Amino acid sequence: MKRIGMLTSGGDCQALNATMRGVVKGLANNLDELEVYGFMNGYKGLIYGDYRMLTSHDFSGILTRGGTILGTSRQPFKLMREPDEKGLDKVEAMKQNYHKLRLDCLVILGGNGTQKTANLLREEGLNIIHLPKTIDNDIYGTDMTFGFYSAVDIATNTIDCIHTTAASHNRVFIVEVMGHKVGWLTLYAGIASGADIILIPEIPYDEAKIIEAINRRKKRGSDFTILAVAEGAIPKEIAELPKKERKKAMAEIAERYPSISYKLAADIQKETGMELRVTIPGHMQRGGSPCPYDRVLATRLGSEAAKYILDEDYGNMVAIVDGKIKKVPLGEVAGRLKTVDPECQEIRDAKRIGISFGD
């Protein structure tokens, strides 16, 4: 008999259900007896003992279903060691619920914050398997996270649709893509959709360079320009400030504008006299069915997680590296962020064909 617990934590995304399905099918097809307990709404369910036993019916027909059948919530890692409002020790409560159900393993699906808590539980003696989920693709130690390419598809389609109206009205359009700290999603969606300018957090932008790129297109006969802008994009002059002053400057922008894209739009319009529009697909990027790539990746990651559970090989993240699924020790990757290298090949290739990064 194997008893496993599962939870999904942090922001939802496509292929969470597909990944859980891969784990359970990989176990059920190789075990005579299996019990699966789903903790509801992320770590909150593990803390407060909100769970239910799952059956094969729960994992039928969910390969293409977005979101998560278990629900999710955000439980900041920095608060995990602090008692809740009633004085409950959250870490001890999670451990007690794990042992109460006599679990052999806890499978945790989530991003960076989720991973840090997963590693904390590993350090506390629990058997943990982590599966890397995020549309940001910013988890260190894996080439790809499930949810990323599905979000790229949605962001790309948004920019594709903007092209026709931008060309018809000779306007500058800014499409704001998700990504506070890293620009993988904006980079890939921008290249895939033929954006003229791509702004990501890792490359602070110079407004003068952006205006120069817009004017260069006008001289070549292109009266419209498409900008793919990460929500965490930052002006060069602010990025160069000390951390405290930088946070203050960004807070002042947030008081005046809904997002950095609106400030950029106002500045460009003032300098060029061109009409600008801002489009924000927002949470659409996390919704809908997973794309075929993510369904395959999720199934492979889930199947390999099942193998580690069968082998009783715990304490790892299941990653994809150079096209192969492999295990990566949680202690080596938890708390580390995978950012875009400004000198990476994708950016060099994009610049070679004329895409501006505002630098």
- Could you tell me the domains of the chain? 2-147+290-333 (3.40.50.450), 151-286 (3.40.50.460)
Cα–Cα distance, 208 to 205 (Å, whole number): 9
Say if residue 267 is exposed, middle or buried (CB neighbours under 10 Å; 0-12, 13-18, 19+): middle
Give the burial string for 40-55 (b: 16+ CB within 10 Å, else e): bbbbbbbbbeebeebe
Q: Strand 324-329 to strand 316-321: parallel, antiparallel, or no bridges (unpaired)? A: antiparallel
pLDDT at position 223 is 83
Starting at the earlier edge strand, list the strands of the sheet with 316-321. 51-54, 34-39, 2-8, 105-110, 128-132, 316-321, 324-329
Q: Strand 105-110 to strand 128-132: parallel, antiparallel, or no bridges (unpaired)? A: parallel
Cα–Cα distance, 257 to 63 (Å, whole number): 40
CB 260 within 8 A of CB 234: yes
Per-residue pLDDT of 318-356, as tens digits, reads 999 999 999 999 999 998 999 999 999 999 999 999 999
Tokens 């999603």 map to which residue? Answer: 185
CB 77 within 8 A of CB 117: yes
DSSP secondary structure letter of residue 52: E
pLDDT at position 271 is 85
Give me 333's structure tokens: 């990757």
Q: What is the mean pLDDT of the chain?
A: 94
Amino acid (one-letter) located at 249: A
Amino acid (one-letter) located at 291: C
Asked whether residue 64 carries a pLDDT value surpassing 90, the answer given is yes
pLDDT at position 21 is 97
Asked whether residue 274 carries a pLDDT value surpassing 90, the answer given is no
84 is catalytic: no
Per-residue pLDDT of 83-98, as tens digits, reads 998 899 999 999 999 9
Q: Which of 279, 271, 272 is nearest to 174 (CA)?
A: 279
DSSP secondary structure letter of residue 146: B
Per-residue pLDDT of 247-264, as tens digits, reads 998 989 999 999 999 999
Q: Which residue of the set 50, 58, 89, 136 is catalytic?
A: 136
* DSSP 3-state of 357: coil
* DSSP 3-state of 106: strand
